[in-house]
Chains A and B, each alone.
Chain A
Amino acid sequence: MPNRLKYLAGLLLIISGLAACEPEAPECYEPDHITTNLNFIKKQVDTVHLVDSTTGMSRDSLVITFPDTLMKSPRAFSLNSTNNVSIIAQPNSGSVAVLMNPDSNAIAYRVQYDSTVFDADTITIYYKPSLHFISNACGYTYYYHIDSVNGTRNVLDSVFILNDAVTNEASTRHIGLYFFQ
């Protein structure tokens, strides 16, 4: 009997000691800063020379594709906010991730594609913010639904919405900035 009591008491002490190693502070493993991806896409027009093997006739065809394009050092600067933010993307990036203001329904960014070149465009995004619960450890954040987007045409050819739901998925392509080659 005494051996059994010692065994049970020792087991209780071990379990209590292991339990004491668990941290009590909240550990948030999900992103709580939601960003909108502005993706750089170029319009590429190629001429393909086709030869019919049976008749021997040749024909030229235009093939239009929209591959992603990399920018040397893209940057984005928010405009007309009380506290503006500046976002610097990685060199040779195919996109720049911008933040949205939950206290407003629109935000404008000056997008510069190369820090050494002054050419830039102003992109204005219109959206609706919605409150979203992440977890007890992370609390709440805001998701966004993009209604429309406008852009100047200094360098850009056009701008389109690719995916209007802005959530915590960082890899989603939200807005496409199209350039002519």
Chain B
Amino acid sequence: MKNIIGLLGIVFFLQQAHAQQTGMPPETDSIAATADSLTIPQDSSRVKSKKPPYEHQIKIGMDISRIAFNLMYPSRQSYEFQGDYLLRNDLYVNVEAGFGKGKVDYAFLKYQTNSFFLKAGVQRTLVSRISNKDFDVVFVGAGYGIGIGKRTEATYNVSSSFGGNTEGTVAPQNFVVHWGELMAGIRVEFLPRVFAGWTIRGKFLLNSGIFKELSPNFIAGYGKGDVATSFDFNFYLCYALRWGSSEPTP
């Protein structure tokens, strides 16, 4: 747990260090222009610095592996979407959202869950860009997630060796869970503006003691609700929106 907190701190400080290297505030001339439109002489030493040309990119995508998992595991259904923005210092700001439902339908226990989630994180590229047109990325990152959902009323059945069964119900429960994530993955531009790539994640619940009795079998974005740590695999198909230019203006 200490190593995970330390890694999150390292990523945070890396981002702050790079942010201080960019965005020098422009200097302005203290002499105001007059109403009769006198030309204001410009001091050659006070030249407004220009940022280098930069092509902005936002990728939005969907986890297409969920489609396969939803078919293979009918008791756990979810849909996940992702968006990220490339900063000038090769850092990505990552936002994810999604929703899902779980179902437990055994002879001794029955209930359903519905939940949605939001995640936010930072990803750091590990491979330098070949050119300004190279947007392939291998990254590591960290993030925070929050899941909100509801478990319906649960019915249970306990059999006895002395004959007969005991049936009962457990009241429905709303829940809010928080978790941290560490992730790694790749994104490759295999068609113009179209990306594909995978992400592996390790997740750890920050409020694992929230479920005193019956924990939900599935929390969208996290996984099984009765475990404090979880691992996941995603395969994304993304489309990039770009504006601006990476070529210097003549």
A residues near B (Cβ < 8 Å) are 1, 4-5, 8, 11-12, 15-16, 19-20, 24, 26, 33, 78, 81-85, 99, 101-103, 131, 133, 135-136, 139-142
Q: Are B168 and A131 within 8 A (Cβ)? A: yes
Q: Are A103 and B166 within 8 A (Cβ)? A: yes
Binding site secondary structure of chain B: mixed
Min CB gap B189→A, angstroms: 8
B residues near A (Cβ < 8 Å) are 64-65, 68-69, 72-75, 104, 106, 108-109, 156-158, 160-164, 166, 168, 188, 190-191, 196-198, 213-215, 217, 226, 233, 235
How far apart sit A60 and B123, CA to CA, in the bound complex (Å)?
80
How far apart sit A101 and B162, CA to CA, in the bound complex (Å)?
6
Q: Are A8 and B160 within 8 A (Cβ)? A: no
Q: Which residue of B lies closest to A140 (CB)?
A: B156
Q: Are B104 and A136 within 8 A (Cβ)? A: yes
A-B CB contact pairs (8 Å), 6 listed: A8-B197, A12-B65, A19-B69, A103-B164, A140-B109, A141-B158
Which B residues are in CB contact (< 8 Å) with A101?
160, 162
How far apart sit A136 and B190, CA to CA, in the bound complex (Å)?
42
Binding site secondary structure of chain A: mixed
Min CB gap A71→B, angstroms: 23
How far apart sit A140 and B233, CA to CA, in the bound complex (Å)?
31
Query: Contacts A131-B168, A135-B226 hold; do A19 and B72 have CB atoms under 8 A apart?
Result: yes
Most buried by A among B64, B106, B198: B106
Q: Are B215 and A5 within 8 A (Cβ)? A: no
How far apart sit A137 and B73, CA to CA, in the bound complex (Å)?
15
Min CB gap A75→B, angstroms: 16
Which A residues are in CB contact (< 8 Å) with B188?
4, 8
How far apart sit A1 and B226, CA to CA, in the bound complex (Å)?
42
Q: Are A83 and B72 within 8 A (Cβ)? A: no
Query: Contacts A5-B196, A24-B73, A136-B217 hold; do A33 and B161 have CB atoms under 8 A apart?
Result: yes
How far apart sit A111 and B164, CA to CA, in the bound complex (Å)?
25
Which B residues are in CB contact (< 8 Å) with A4?
188, 190
How far apart sit A161 and B10, CA to CA, in the bound complex (Å)?
56
Query: Contacts A8-B188, A16-B68, A140-B109 hold; do A85 and B162 have CB atoms under 8 A apart?
Result: yes
The 8 Å CB contact of A8, one of B72, B156, B190, B214, is B190
Q: Are B106 and A26 within 8 A (Cβ)? A: yes
Which B residues are in CB contact (< 8 Å) with A24?
72-75
How far apart sit A26 and B190, CA to CA, in the bound complex (Å)?
40
Q: Are A102 and B158 within 8 A (Cβ)? A: yes
Q: Which residue of B lies closest to A129 (CB)?
A: B166
Q: Are B109 and A1 within 8 A (Cβ)? A: no
How far apart sit A82 and B156, CA to CA, in the bound complex (Å)?
23
How far apart sit A140 and B226, CA to CA, in the bound complex (Å)?
15
Q: Are B235 and A12 within 8 A (Cβ)? A: yes
Sorted nearest first, the 9 A-B pairs with minimum C-beta distance are A139-B108, A83-B163, A139-B109, A101-B162, A140-B156, A5-B190, A136-B217, A16-B68, A133-B213
Min CB gap A19→B, angstroms: 6
Min CB gap A167→B, angstroms: 15
Min CB gap A11→B, angstroms: 7
How far apart sit A102 and B161, CA to CA, in the bound complex (Å)?
9
